[in-house]
Structure 1
Amino acid sequence: MFLWQYLTPLLLIAVQICKAQKCDEFTDLNLGHSFIGTNIRIRLLLYTRENGTCGTLMSHTDLSAYPQFNLSRPTTFVIHGYRPTGSPPVWLGSITELLLAREDLNIIVVDWNYGAANVNYFKAVENTKRAAANLTAFIETMQGHGASLSSIHLIGVSLGAHISGFVGANLNGLIGRITGLDPAGPQFTGTPAEDRLDSTDAKFVDVLHTDIDALGFREPLGHIDFYANGGTDQPGCPKTIFSGGAYFKCDHQRSVLLYLESLNRTCASRAFPCSTYNDFLDGNCLNCDQFGAAGCPVFGYDVTRWKDILQKRGQTKTFFTTNANSPFCMSSYRVDVMIWNKDVRWGYITVKLHYNGTEAVATIDHKSSKFQKFKETRLFAQFDKDIPSVDKVSLKFSTGNVFKPKYKLRVLRFRLTHLERKERLCRYDILLEEKSEVTFRPIPCEESNF
């Protein structure tokens, strides 16, 4: 009995600690819910550096019960998209962790899975405006407690991007920033601005497009729109329907993976303003002087460095390419080739850069390039990785013709220019036999002008 008297208070304390440490989690539904249909219900899960891996379910009206919800800090809302199977997004833990590593924030995961989990996509679309109305009311409550709208960032994925737009419009475009990750296309394409995300919904709107030919939205929507790999057919994604569900969702989901990498600062993807993807690949859009010393914008979380310029420019459409897997970012070079063959040659060039056992590869094969005597052919090379210095260069020329005789490309001058560091390397008088790789050590270019 004596021992029990001492243990009882300790047990009660332990129970209270366990209760205090209870974590609220994203709603986990299943296909059954999707077939039956779900009525919309909004749950707001708070994460801060004090509880970075343990969500707190918040009241929509009473904020006083959450001392960790400090309204003097910026607040970022993460809004998911359509959930046909009802399962939680696999990336939620990563995005909250990476956001909190970058900044001392309030992160609110907007769980509208009741409403997004429905085999009837049209019903989920219908629910987006209802979800936006709920979220708008919550942000207005935050305002009443002293929060500044300019310190709020909405990150919306697919349907979540349009929810973000509706919230921003409801608040007269005074939200600080909206990021749309492959905004949904079906049921939104061709609609007026008030029925989708657009650049007036926040002070700054940045948008990523990765699936414009299927689940995503094709046209520009923000102050700056990034088109990864032209906005369609992401590297590494299945090309045939025989790959199952990944064939339908891989391109669309790539938007989140690219954004997570921008948060992680693994590497940076420089994006180039251009009217079309083909012009970008042809190297016609490599001048970044219009953006001053900062150069062309970098995709992702840190694009706010260019916010002032982009707001003045109006709508800016940019392109960048990626690898099939992380790290996704590539390194950009300009390649200039002058030949002295008597006859015109058409073909493709593969360039390899070597440094201390590391090899970076760029295959310029989006179209057959024209090489003409004493005329410089400018190519845009995207290497799978960046290397700090170049010891050796390997070149290979190919025409793509299987049955015709092999040709030779007599290179008078080969020049390689790193587009960010402006480093230039050259080589003169190289003989390339078709499909045979030639390796050489580059030398400083003799030309004084860039």
Structure 2
Amino acid sequence: MLKLYLFISLMCLVRSDTDEPCPSFTRLSFHSAVVGTGLNVKLMLYTRKNLTCAQAISPTDLGSLNVTKKTTFIVHGFRPTGSPPVWIGDLVEGLLFVEDMNVVVVDWNRGATTVIYSHAAGKSKNVAVVLKEFIDQMLANGASLDNIYMIGVSLGAHIAGFVGEMYDGQLGRITGLDPAGPLFNGRPPQDRLDPSDAQFVDVIHSDTDALGYREPLGNIDFYPNGGADQPGCPQTIFGGLQYFKCDHQRSMYLYLSSLRENCTITAYPCDSYRDYRNGKCVSCLTPQKESCPFLGYYADHWKDYLKEKDPPMTKAFFDTAEEKPFCMYHYFVDILTWNKNIRRGDITIKLRDKAGNITESKINHEPATFQKYHQVSLLARFNQDLDKVAAISLMFSTGSIIGPKYKLRILRMKLRSLAHPERPQLCRYDLVLMENVETVFQPILCPKLQM
């Protein structure tokens, strides 16, 4: 009787993997991770016609995949607990919202599920072989490599790179979302993702000090908040499981934000995060450059500018908010002072509109040096973009707890939007800031000839 029960249970499991009307991502238990899983790759096709119900496809059955359309492959990474990635559904939906395409979810959970990371990493090239077999059939049926886009997450980013190398870098595009660092850092190009794996390779690095890859891997490499610790993520082990995976996963959620119409994250090409924070990397905003690179889905708009570079590689930096949709809005705060003595300190600026909405920026990453008749341009980042600013407040601080309180005498303060340079610049003249005291004032329009 027990044997019969086990046989029926096994048959149900087999049927659920092969005959279910709407195939779903493989769900395994932590027990499976402990004992390990053999590799099995499932491919599930989503289109605008079957947005909520996947179609099982394979190298011998392309299903309803339209080879004349763009095909985007989503490749996940290491799954230490066996659970499906929580972001899969949102990514499929977002991609199909912005473009009519084929979306193929590459489910290799049987293989990625193990508590031993090296076992999963060792299967990555085998997954790439399966994907090549499928793409070969697409090509045989009239598809073009130009129309193939691969989004690889963590270990999946290197899998995408292996596929691209098999086609001599002729795939249309690869996006690496915080490519895995352990066992890949320092490896030669053929053993990891690299810029030659596709016609355009863009990478988001969000956990360079732990699970992610440290060095540039693409034609353009984005480093949110410097690439290491992400705002809103736990900074100590008391944050539980999120402490280990939050920074690493942030790359995916930043990419998802690019699929939202109300959040376009602009990045700034720069040699270092420090230079970006000091406002030295906004040359892409000049009329000659036309635009700065965008993070995420529309990052490939930048590839025309890369033709001017040799080699065609760029690092870009930006800051984000703590919560979705993560967008921040950049302004320059130009301050011209007339103190007799040099003052060093931080500035906090708040903006308020007529409706009472308030947004704040603490410019305290590096103390500014204020000298007589010398203009200092500070890069301020706000969580909200207020169209019409009705009031501004400034506060100066030296950071000293004891000792004398200083004054900062301002001849002119000017506020200018980087995201919307067409907006009028706002000024104020003859201000005296008492240290650690918030000074509120109404701005006026700057003279048009003033730069």
Alignment TM class, shorter chain as reference? over 0.9
Q: Distance in 1 between matches of 2:315 and 2:206?
A: 14
Contact 2:283/2:289 (<8 A) preserved: no
Q: Distance in 2 between matches of 1:376 and 1:97?
A: 48
Identity rate of aligned residues, in percent?
51
Q: How does 1:298-337 map to 2 (within 5 A)?
A: 298-313=294-309, 314-337=312-335
The partner residue of 2:284 within 284, 288, 292 is 288
Q: Tell me, yes or no, if structure 1 residue 268 matches structure 2 residue 269.
A: no
The partner residue of 2:352 within 351, 354, 360 is 354
1:9 alignment counterpart: none
Distance 1:430 1:232, change over 3 A: same
Per-residue CA deviation, residues 99-129 of structure 1 (Å, 9 max, x unaligned), is 1111111100000111111111011111101
Q: How does 1:69-108 map to 2 (within 5 A)?
A: 69-108=65-104
1:397 alignment counterpart: 396
Helix, strand or coil at the partner of 2:388: coil
Contact 1:223/1:311 (<8 A) preserved: no
Q: Distance in 2 between matches of 1:335 and 1:154?
A: 40
Specify the code of the residue in structure 2 equivalent to 1:444. L
Aligned-pair CA distance for 1:186: 0.6
Distance 1:380 1:311, change over 3 A: same
Contact 2:391/2:442 (<8 A) preserved: yes
Helix, strand or coil at the partner of 1:214: coil
Aligned-pair CA distance for 1:412: 1.0
Helix, strand or coil at the partner of 2:233: coil
Q: Distance in 2 between matches of 1:306 and 1:367?
A: 30
Q: How does 1:25-104 map to 2 (within 5 A)?
A: 25-63=24-62, 66=63, 68-104=64-100
Q: How does 1:19-418 map to 2 (within 5 A)?
A: 22-63=21-62, 66=63, 68-288=64-284, 292=288, 294-313=290-309, 314-356=312-354, 357-418=356-417
Q: Distance in 1 between matches of 2:286 and 2:189?
A: 28
Tell me the TM-score normalised to structure 1 length: 0.93
Contact 1:204/1:311 (<8 A) preserved: no
Per-residue CA deviation, residues 22-58 of structure 1 (Å, 9 max, x unaligned), is 2100000111111101111100011111110111111
Helix, strand or coil at the partner of 1:288: helix
Alignment: residue pair count: 429
Contact 1:352/1:393 (<8 A) preserved: yes
Helix, strand or coil at the partner of 1:221: coil
Helix, strand or coil at the partner of 2:258: helix
2:4 alignment counterpart: none
Helix, strand or coil at the partner of 1:391: strand
Per-residue CA deviation, residues 76-114 of structure 1 (Å, 9 max, x unaligned), is 000001100010000011000111111111100000111
Aligned-pair CA distance for 1:73: 1.1
Q: Distance in 2 between matches of 1:100 and 1:340?
A: 56
Specify the code of the residue in structure 2 equivalent to 1:132. A
Q: Distance in 1 between matches of 2:289 and 2:366?
A: 32
Q: Tell me, yes or no, if structure 1 residue 432 matches structure 2 residue 433.
A: yes
Contact 2:285/2:418 (<8 A) preserved: no
Specify the code of the residue in structure 2 equivalent to 1:360. T
Aligned-pair CA distance for 1:290: 7.0
Contact 1:274/1:318 (<8 A) preserved: yes
Aligned-pair CA distance for 1:61: 1.7
Specify the code of the residue in structure 2 equivalent to 1:335. V
Q: Distance in 1 between matches of 2:19 and 2:81?
A: 32
Distance 1:172 1:291, change over 3 A: farther
Per-residue CA deviation, residues 376-426 of structure 1 (Å, 9 max, x unaligned), is 112111111111121111111111111122211111111111113224211
Specify the code of the residue in structure 2 equivalent to 1:317. K
Distance 1:55 1:311, change over 3 A: farther
Contact 2:329/2:419 (<8 A) preserved: no
Aligned-pair CA distance for 1:245: 1.1
Aligned-pair CA distance for 1:21: 8.5
Greater CA drift, 304-313 or 315-324: 304-313
Q: Distance in 2 between matches of 1:89 and 1:78?
A: 11
Distance 1:289 1:98, change over 3 A: closer
Aligned-pair CA distance for 1:367: 1.5
Segments of structure 2 that go 5 or more residues without pairing to the other structure are 1-17
Specify the code of the residue in structure 1 equivalent to 2:348. T
Contact 1:291/1:309 (<8 A) preserved: no
Per-residue CA deviation, residues 252-305 of structure 1 (Å, 9 max, x unaligned), is 001111111101223111111111101110111111157846311111111222
Aligned-pair CA distance for 1:343: 1.3
Specify the code of the residue in structure 1 equivalent to 2:404. P
Q: Distance in 2 between matches of 1:49 and 1:421?
A: 34
Tell me the TM-score normalised to structure 2 length: 0.92
Contact 1:158/1:182 (<8 A) preserved: yes
Q: Distance in 2 between matches of 1:291 and 1:74?
A: 32
Q: Distance in 1 between matches of 2:89 and 2:163?
A: 24
Helix, strand or coil at the partner of 1:246: helix
Distance 1:291 1:100, change over 3 A: farther
Contact 2:205/2:214 (<8 A) preserved: yes
Contact 2:58/2:134 (<8 A) preserved: no
Segments of structure 1 that go 5 or more residues without pairing to the other structure are 1-18
2:11 alignment counterpart: none
Helix, strand or coil at the partner of 1:343: coil
Pairwise CA RMSD:
1.5
4+ residue runs over 3 A deviation: 289-294
Q: Distance in 1 between matches of 2:404 and 2:28?
A: 62
Q: Distance in 2 between matches of 1:122 and 1:191?
A: 15
